[in-house]
Chains A and B, each alone.
Chain A
Amino acid sequence: MLSTSGSEKRLRFAGICLAAGLLIEALCLMWATPIAFIVFVAIGGLLIFIGLVLYLHSQGSSPVASD
């Protein structure tokens, strides 16, 4: 996937964070309660944010590949 193992690790970790955040958000959407709202924003949102930042970082730090 990527030529450097560091950026590959970051990309994998970004994927794990994003998938976990999305799963939490999907679960929270099934319950209309205040605690679900808080978990949606605080945990789901945070995981997605971390995943996005890591994804961008992994892309920024990987060398340009020639296809």
Chain B
Amino acid sequence: MPQATGLIVCLVLFNAVVIAAMVARPDLTAGRGGKILAFIAMFCLPIFCGLLGFSREMGRSKTTAFCLSCHTMQDYGKSLLVDDPTHLPASHFQNRRVPTDEACYSCHTQYAMFGGLKVKLYGLKHVFIYYLGTPPAPENIKLYEPYSNRECLHCHLGARSFEEGVVHNADPATLPAIKANQLSCLSSGCHDSAHDLAHLKEAKYWKRGT
């Protein structure tokens, strides 16, 4: 458990113990001082602890480990370790083009107003289907919306390798079309090898130097 989470847990437990003491010994809250203590322990601190914990949980829900904790996602996690530089998620993960501890979220969030909220709601839908519905087979999982170039351009826009790339500049119309999301990075036959689950069995895997 990371140190910050440990501290939050300690604070939450401390708050619970103080409240339990007040429930067990109501005379603690008698008088002005007791009432102030009760207000802090039973109103201010629970709100503070709740918000702190919620913020921690929201942060944790972005982690790669969180996404891959569902059985359905494990093949997608494996695809991050495919030893093939043309395999898009693998090359991003292995070369740290995305933070490795937030690899899924970095590419699958939406870099737009309320995009983070929207993908969190999608995430809740995933959890609902996973626990209460019938989750599809991993190879049948589809994106809710076509993948937008906006997500790629969030990092690659302005990067030399993107702006001065030979293929990107072979035709003067290509780069503006990519930037306007008229020519998809993924589905135009250029960077189309993303999470190729069909070939995972015969794929070679990168062994991390750990």
Binding site for B on A (CB under 8 A): 1-2, 8, 11-12, 14-16, 18-19, 21-23, 25-26, 28-30, 32-38, 40-41, 44-45, 48, 51-52, 55-56, 67
Contact = CB atoms under 8 A, between A and B. Distances in A.
Main DSSP-derived SS at the A contact region: helix
Nearest to B53: A25
B16 A22 contact: yes
B9 interface: yes
B127 A19 contact: no
A40 B56 CA distance: 11
Interface of B is mostly: helix
B131 interface: yes
B123 to A, nearest CB: 8
Given A11-B42, A12-B26, A28-B57, 9 more contacts: A12-B23, A18-B19, A26-B12, A29-B57, A34-B61, A34-B66, A35-B127, A37-B61, A45-B50
B131 to A, nearest CB: 7
Contacts of B13: 22-23, 26
Nearest to B26: A1
